[in-house]
Structure 1
Amino acid sequence: MLSIDDLRFFATLSVSSSLAGAARELGVTPPAVTQRLRLLEAKLGLRLVDRSTRHLRLTDEGQFLASRGGRIVEEILKLGADLAARKGDVVGHLRIVAPFGFGRRFVAPAVAAFRTENPQVTISLTLSESPVRLGDDRWDLLVHVGELKDSSLIVHRLAPNERVICASPSYLAARGEPRQPEDLKGHDCAALRENDEDVTLWRFTEAAGDTHAIRINPQLSSNDGEVVRRWAIAGLGIIMRSEWDVAEDLREGRLVQVLNDYHLASADIVVLLGAREGRTARTALFLRYLSDALSPTPWRSFDAGVQHR
């Protein structure tokens, strides 16, 4: 007969790319994972994993067990949390997903503080360059920066955030300052690849409402915002970044905002919650905790010279 431990084991295995990855997640050796999988398959009399490929691939029976078993595990955990909530306790496991840069700087410290105050809650924080691509069965709360193209998930706005065009003083001294968006075609630019966006198309709006769509030809690009920011500080080109990331650099003079008469689409910080009913008390409590951590807005707690609209 299947046990809850069997279901938990296979639920972890099913979302891993390899047996070695599952071993790291479970905190055991790869041979131990292989042995436990064999015992589970022997117990059921079914083959759950196709071992003919280098990557872990579930058989039809394995996919069925992962789907049904995962829901059963989630319901059992939710039942325990709901019973604990009746006593006023906050318990259970909380799954959080956030972008790399913002997650490191703002979400991770909030997670640490929240865990200290709620020691019966275990938390997994996954940082991703494209968080919204992860299915909502993989998280309870997702932090997103920028526009959402389409979402049926419940959205909570956490904090305002403008996009900024900026460069280092040394770059502007050597190459001159662009006065209008079209001038960017004659400048070196660096682009950040994130959220499956068209990162080489920069869209500007004038105060009068006229729009400009400029296709830049980036000499440098990366999927890491910290790398792009450091390139700009080093004088390697002009960048578009969120104010949360460059506000302090602007205040300290390491970067200078340009094209101030033109507006870029805002990239507010939002939280997505799955549309499932019966959201847990720990999710709601962490949402309030994160909201409080970002109020007042940290990157606007000093005068950085960013133009807000």
Structure 2
Amino acid sequence: MITTDDLRFFLSLAATSSLAQAARALDVTPPAVTQRLHALEKRLGVRLVNRSGRGTALTDEGRLLALRAGQICGELNELADELAGRRGVVAGHLRVVAPLGFGQRYVAGLVAEFRKNSEDVTASLTLSDGPPRLATDNWDVMVHIGELRDSTLVAYPLAPNRRILCASPAYLGRRGAPAKPEDLRDHDCIALRENDEDVTLWRFRRGRGAAVGVRIAPVLSSNTGAAAVEWALAGHGIVARSEWDVAEHVQSRALVPLLAGWNLPEANVVALVKSRQDLSARTAGFLAHLRAAFAMTPWRDKL
């Protein structure tokens, strides 16, 4: 026998690539996630997740459970919406997905604020430090940064977000600053592994000119932006990082922008939904809340 709480727990687990990520998303300890998963597998009599040193992967049974759980929870949410609509109130469960660092800094507070202003709404926020691995029905709004790969989703622009190439004064004092993109081949570079991008190919453009691609050999790489920025602040190398993440460090001169006149591809912030039609009242309301909050681009006042 499984409950809707079990289904929502497993959907949160299916949205991440490790038990540690799931624990952070659920705000519990990793042993608590492991214990609950073991109990669920024991009750169902099947293995749902394969664990390895590289993370977790759903078994065939796990994928089936995630798919059906998404459908069941989606139908329950739709039923709650219909009943709430008859009462003329915004209600039901709002499911939001966002990147880990950006979500912690800019989205978590907005989710809590929206729920506070809509007392009949409950909300969950799933944060991931890698590309989201989600059952198709397991979210209402996804905050996304950078290139959009799934053309079936509908994007609502939230805020502009440049990528900035930068390094600490300590590193520049020791190694000097690159004068052109090709000089990066002779510098210590820090790479961020995210969104299945080719992280060792950095592309630059000056004005309307042709793009210039530079293949770097990173001395350090990470799957989290926080680690990459900390390494750059400590003087370990040059990093290409989102404006939202380094604006305050650029303003304080802890990081110095490099290659003036050369631009990296932008990584603008958008909110994604599955369709423009039939948005629930809570989803439409949260979209409006997001767009109002980001209208002034909160990180731009730091530059």
> Which of the five TM-score ranges fits, normalised by the shorter chain?
0.7 to 0.9
Aligned to 2:93: 93
1:84/1:150 CA distance change after superposition, 3 Å: closer
Aligned to 1:251: 251
1:298/1:12 CA distance change after superposition, 3 Å: closer
Aligned to 2:301: 301
The separation in 2 between residues aligned to 1:54 and 1:36, in whole angstroms, is 12
TM-score, normalising length from structure 2? Answer: 0.82
Q: Secondary structure at the match of 2:88?
A: coil
Aligned to 1:11: 7
Q: Secondary structure at the match of 1:298?
A: coil
Shift of 1:154: 0.8
Aligned to 1:187: 187
The structure having more radius of gyration, on CA atoms, is: 1
Letter in 2 for 1:251: Q
Letter in 1 for 2:212: H
Count residues in correspondence: 287
Shift of 1:14: 5.3
1:124/1:52 CA distance change after superposition, 3 Å: closer
1:172/1:164 CA distance change after superposition, 3 Å: same
Aligned to 1:270: 270
The separation in 2 between residues aligned to 1:7 and 1:228, in whole angstroms, is 41
1:253/1:71 CA distance change after superposition, 3 Å: same
Aligned to 2:151: 151
The separation in 2 between residues aligned to 1:257 and 1:28, in whole angstroms, is 42
Q: Which moved more, 1:203-212 or 1:256-265?
A: 203-212
Contact 1:190 1:238 in 2 (8 A): yes
Give ranges in structure 2 of 5+ residues lacking alignment.
Answer: 52-56
Shift of 1:131: 4.1
Aligned to 1:44: none
Shift of 1:251: 0.8
Aligned to 1:41: none
Q: Secondary structure at the match of 1:50?
A: coil
Taking the TM superposition and a 5 Å limit, the aligned residue runs for 1:1-309 are 6=2, 8=4, 11-12=7-8, 15=11, 16=13, 34=39, 38=43, 48-50=44-46, 67=67, 70-275=70-275, 277-302=277-302, 304=303
Shift of 1:11: 2.9
The separation in 1 between residues aligned to 2:217 and 2:88, in whole angstroms, is 56
Contact 2:49 2:58 in 1 (8 A): yes
1:8/1:277 CA distance change after superposition, 3 Å: farther
Shift of 1:135: 3.8
Shift of 1:213: 0.4
Shift of 1:179: 0.7
Identity %: 48
Shift of 1:269: 0.1
1:131/1:273 CA distance change after superposition, 3 Å: farther
The separation in 2 between residues aligned to 1:191 and 1:129, in whole angstroms, is 14
Give ranges in structure 1 of 5+ residues lacking alignment.
Answer: 39-47, 305-309
Letter in 1 for 2:202: W
Contact 1:165 1:239 in 2 (8 A): yes
Q: CA RMSD in A?
A: 3.4
Shift of 1:133: 4.0
Q: Secondary structure at the match of 2:191?
A: strand
Contact 2:50 2:59 in 1 (8 A): no
The separation in 2 between residues aligned to 1:111 and 1:202, in whole angstroms, is 34
Shift of 1:91: 1.2
TM-score, normalising length from structure 1? Answer: 0.80
Q: Deviations over 1:188-232 (max 9, x none)?
A: 011111111111100011225122100111101111111111111
Contact 1:131 1:144 in 2 (8 A): no
